[in-house]
């Protein structure tokens, strides 16, 4: 996955989470009855939606960086085999 594709995918996820949070908090602002009855849950859910997307992006980025670092570290080449021969002494 290219960097641009990864950024677009995370932007879509973040946009969806922010949209969900906005709709929920907007529903509280206009006084939707079943949301007003659950004010703490609405705020908690809104916060968790956005935080989950950001946490997933952070973990995904950390894993990609560590894999890139592991692929960048190459083992040293093995030394050439030394052939020992018996002496005629």
Q: Which two tokens stand for residue 58?
A: 């952070």
Alpha helix stretches (DSSP H) within 31-81? 33-36, 39-72
pLDDT at residue 77, rounded to an integer: 67
Separation of alpha carbons 10 and 47, rounded Å: 17
Q: Is the pTM of this model over 0.85?
A: no
Q: pLDDT tens digits for 8-45?
A: 999 999 999 999 999 999 999 998 898 889 889 999 99
Q: What angle do CA 26, 32, 38 make, to 5 degrees?
A: 90
pLDDT of residue 26: 92
Per-residue pLDDT, 18 = 92
pLDDT confidence of residue 82: 67
The string of pLDDT tens digits covering residues 47-88 is: 999 999 999 999 999 998 888 888 787 766 666 666 767 777
Give the pLDDT score at 85. Answer: 74
79: left (phi over 0), alpha (psi -120 to 50) or beta: beta
């Amino acid at each position: 996955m290219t960097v641009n594709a990864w950024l677009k995918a995370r932007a879509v996820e973040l946009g969806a989470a922010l949209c969900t949070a906005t709709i929920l908090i907007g529903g509280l602002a206009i006084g939707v009855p079943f949301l007003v009855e659950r004010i703490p849950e609405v705020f908690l859910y809104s916060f968790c939606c956005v935080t989950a997307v950001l946490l997933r992006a952070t973990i995904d980025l950390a894993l990609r960086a560590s894999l890139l670092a592991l692929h960048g570290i190459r083992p040293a080449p093995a030394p050439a085999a030394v052939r020992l021969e018996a002496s005629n002494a």
